[in-house]
């Protein structure tokens, strides 16, 4: 199988559009040296050392605040993290737990959490 080659004549190319703006831009404008200095001075102000230091300090303070707020956000999310407990159960207790979970259509962890909560509240913890 050979691939068919495409030539330049096979593709259609649109003619270029001539804008009036490009025509006006092609005419050279000779600016006066005084006007270019004023434009450059107004466009790019050169801050002194004190202004540079102030802007750098303001930027650093803003970044520090963002960092602290992000850290506080992560801490608040960690408060909702689940903590796991490994409990060794004998076979009879696990069978009762499974039966209670299946009869009440709950997960075993929900039953254990409810039992622990009930026990702790009854003993005033």
Structural domain contains residue 75: yes
Structural domain contains residue 99: yes
pTM above 0.85, yes or no: no
Structural domain contains residue 30: no
Q: List all residues 6 or more positions away from 39 whose beta carbon is below 8 Å from its beta carbon.
A: none
Structural domain contains residue 7: no
For each successive 10 residues of the chain (125 residues), what is the average pLDDT?
69 75 58 59 76 91 91 79 84 95 92 94 92
Structural domain contains residue 116: yes
Tokens of 118: 């009930």
- In a shared domain, residues 54 and 76: yes
Number of structural domains in the chain:
2
Residues 55, 47 contacting (CB under 8 angstroms): yes
Classify residue 67 as exposed, middle or buried by CB count within 10 Å of its CB (0-12, 13-18, 19+).
exposed
Q: What pLDDT, on a 0 to 100 scale, did the predictor assign at position 100?
A: 93
Domain, as residue range, for 72: 46-81
The span from the CA of 101 to the CA of 97, in Å, is 6
Q: What pLDDT, on a 0 to 100 scale, did the predictor assign at position 30?
A: 61
Structural domain contains residue 10: no
- In a shared domain, residues 118 and 97: yes
Q: What pLDDT, on a 0 to 100 scale, did the predictor assign at position 13?
A: 77
Structural domain contains residue 95: yes
């Amino acid at each position: 199988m050979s691939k068919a080659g495409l030539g330049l004549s096979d593709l259609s190319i649109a003619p270029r559009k001539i804008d009036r703006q490009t025509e006006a831009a092609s005419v050279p404008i000779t600016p006066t040296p005084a006007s270019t200095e004023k434009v450059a001075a107004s466009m790019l102000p050169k801050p002194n050392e004190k202004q540079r230091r102030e802007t750098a300090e303001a930027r650093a303070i803003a970044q520090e605040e963002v960092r602290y707020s992000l850290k506080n956000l992560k801490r608040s999310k960690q408060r909702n993290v689940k903590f796991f407990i490994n409990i060794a159960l004998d076979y009879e207790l696990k069978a009762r737990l499974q039966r209670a979970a299946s009869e009440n259509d709950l997960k075993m962890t929900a039953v254990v959490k409810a039992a622990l909560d009930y026990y702790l509240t009854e003993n005033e913890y």
